[in-house]
A and B are shown apart, each in its own frame.
Chain A
Amino acid sequence: MFVLAFFLLLLLFLLSGYGILHLFRLRLKTAYTITLSLLLGVALASFLPFLLQLLYIQLTAFTIFGSLVLAAVLLNIPVWLSVRKEGFAAFRRSLFPRRFQILSYEIPFLMILGFMVFVSIWRCYYLPPTSRDALSGPEAIAEIAVREHTLINSFFNVDLWSTNNQFKSPFLISLQLIFKLAGFPFGQIWLSIVFVSFTVFLYNALREKCHPLIAGVLMLIFFMTPEMYAYTFMILYDYSNMVYMFLGLYFLFRYFSAGGRTAEGQSSEMGARGLHLAEARVGPSAGDSPGDNRTANFYFAGLLIGIATYIRSETLALALLFLPPILLAQRREKLSLKKAALANILFFLPSLAGYYLTTQLYLKHYLPVHYDVGGLVNDHLTNLSPLFQRYSDIFTRLLTGEFAIHLWGYIFYLTAALFVAEALFVRRFNRDARNWLYALAALYLGLGALGWLLPMMNLNETTKRAMFKMLPVAILYLANNELLLRLSRAITRWENTPWSLGSGGGSPGKPVLAARTVLTKSGKTVAVGGTQANTRKVVPAAGRGKRKK
């Protein structure tokens, strides 16, 4: 029975998330469409019980599942209209623009990642929530809400002196409530949906940038971060916050990339045989309208960062750190002041709403126990030494040293080593690498500043978990590291070069007839030599005209 309930919920998430995604008119490849739809569906589901609570509607199975169904139906009206207009065949083509392909050397990575995903899902399903922060707040509230049909329940009559977890975002409570009502006694399994969706998205994002072999290694290193892996089956806010924040940055950087190198990756299956790496990266995708997609990327990024803020309110401060590069991009685009201001208001609106609804409206006007967020702010702001101490502590205790290795494995060491190598040997960073490096620096500075502003945000717990956000950012920087890109190109070139006697391979009895694809200095790929029969034709995707320099 619960399997059926799970698949029905999954379907609802997929449909409602797709409805939201469709509003942005982003043309994405199938893996992105499905994973983003699920993630948006989970985010919406986490908001609906909270919204019902704000409207003083009882939280029963009928009202909650009814609202989920209603949201899925309403959000899919534009989809339905578009299918009617363009025809079902066109709609199906837009969903599945290219054939799904897995290469043989991806299989070992998929096996080991699949193993770790399976173990995580099992623990999510089988074991009850364990973290103290969940048990002394959201999990308890959700459990009682199942019986009392309200988030503002008898839990608040208990002595809550030792905890402030009851004041945290309703994100967790709502999702726990939905899954408990669906028959999962421990809830939690929504976290596996977030985990799997994000994993698939990230792997595809990496595969788009580098050779699948490199993407596989990077993905494995990302998985082998002990602390973060634990939070793929321990419900709390930080893993989900990391996911939505990262996705926000991903689409923001797409926007910065001015219509090129699209996530609308019809173009960019890096592993696809015969498709050259450099070529696959360049130029807008076939049939894209770069201008439209670019703006959509921007607002979609705003929505995703808004969701991250809804999950953890202090994300708003981190989001603001991305205003300077946004302004710079708008200046480059010669956007008028009025238009830029309007665009930025719309960009930050979801974040402001996520912040206001959870920390102002709900805490101050709904909960019976009040929480003065203002009272938590450091009142010695002129004393900057704790700020520098915090930066120093983050570096010496959380980023380097034995404890850091136990938390994150070697991911930050690898990032630092390849950063230094790139600086020394390449002496320049490409635009994407610069963007991700900026994000890393902004997160480091922002988290340090938050720890100084809010002394409650302790180093070993809150800051540590907030640093999850740096992990996928570091991985994306690595995927854009020029040295790894060169290695990727070298592997692809070698892979695309047929065996020949000269290159030490091939069948001795057969003459070498195959063409070689060669990367020219201008970044184009040309086929050289060979006969018609054996030449692998490398066709640039339509619209890939210019290579950005």
Chain B
Amino acid sequence: MKGFLLTLVAFAAIFIVLNAGYYGDWFQSKPAQYWTDFLKEKDDTLDQVGIMKQRYGVIYTICLKVKDIAAKKKVAHPVILFEPNSYYRDSLHIYATFHAPEPAVFYYYTGLEGVWTNSPNVNKANFLLRISKKGVSLDEIKNPQQLQQILNTYKKYPPTL
């Protein structure tokens, strides 16, 4: 009987903790939501790339697209130049949705080399990834003059995470 009463106390204690102030909000938005996600995910037929696309979002999908295009163009060593994130934030105001990946993360996603405008290897860049509200494009950089022109365009936007 006492064990039963203590069991009731245990349930009451759990109920109180789970609903106390911020705990209630957090529990609903995190562990309980994760459970709902689990119920969907357990029946998913997504492969590894599909799961990564879902998890990493649009940037990952863009990176994979870049990889495909670079492969189709059959460039021996494609090096992708990214626009600075401060440009997306201060000029295009799309940073909340889009941002350029770090070269390290881009390499993890695609196995391709990426550079930022301040990278020591920036002169090796032979493609420019442009992201705007209209869409995404991968433009070829044909010569060092064109590269320099591009770099000048972004001069006032320092690369940031």
Contact = CB atoms under 8 A, between A and B. Distances in A.
Interface stretch (B23-31, B135-143, B147-155): B23-31
Interface stretch (A24-32, A215-223, A360-368, A537-545): A215-223
B146 interface: no
A100 interface: no
B71 interface: no
A491 B7 CA distance: 13
A144 B112 CA distance: 12
A107 B119 CA distance: 57
Interface in B95-136: 102-105, 107-108, 113-116, 118-121
B31 A119 contact: yes
Contacts of A132: 102, 105, 161
> For the complex, would chain A's binding face be called helix, strand, loop or mixed by DSSP majority?
helix
Contacts of B114: 158-159
A166 B102 CA distance: 13
Contacts of B10: 105-109, 213, 216
B30 A160 contact: no
How many chain B residues sit at the interface, stated as a range, is: 35 or more
B55 A115 contact: no
Nearest to A224: B23
A354 interface: no
Contact of B14 (A104, A109, A230): A109
B31 A130 contact: no
B55 A127 contact: yes
B13 A409 contact: no
Contact of A143 (B9, B108, B161): B108
Interface in B29-83: 30-31, 34-35, 38, 41, 48, 51-52, 55-56
B104 A160 contact: yes
B104 A137 contact: yes
Interface in A164-201: 165-166, 185-186
A253 to B, nearest CB: 27
A17 to B, nearest CB: 29
Nearest to B3: A104
Contacts of A494: 2
A162 interface: yes
Interface in A127-170: 127-128, 130, 132, 135-137, 139-140, 143-144, 155, 157-163, 165-166
21 contacts: A103-B3, A103-B6, A104-B3, A112-B18, A115-B31, A128-B56, A132-B102, A136-B105, A139-B108, A140-B104, A140-B105, A159-B103, A159-B115, A159-B120, A160-B103, A161-B116, A161-B119, A166-B104, A186-B48, A216-B10, A495-B3
Nearest 4 pairs between A and B by C-beta?
Answer: A140-B108, A105-B6, A159-B119, A136-B104
Interface of A: 103-109, 112, 115-116, 119, 122-123, 126-128, 130, 132, 135-137, 139-140, 143-144, 155, 157-163, 165-166, 185-186, 213, 216-217, 220-221, 224, 226, 229-230, 405-406, 409-410, 491, 494-495, 499, 505
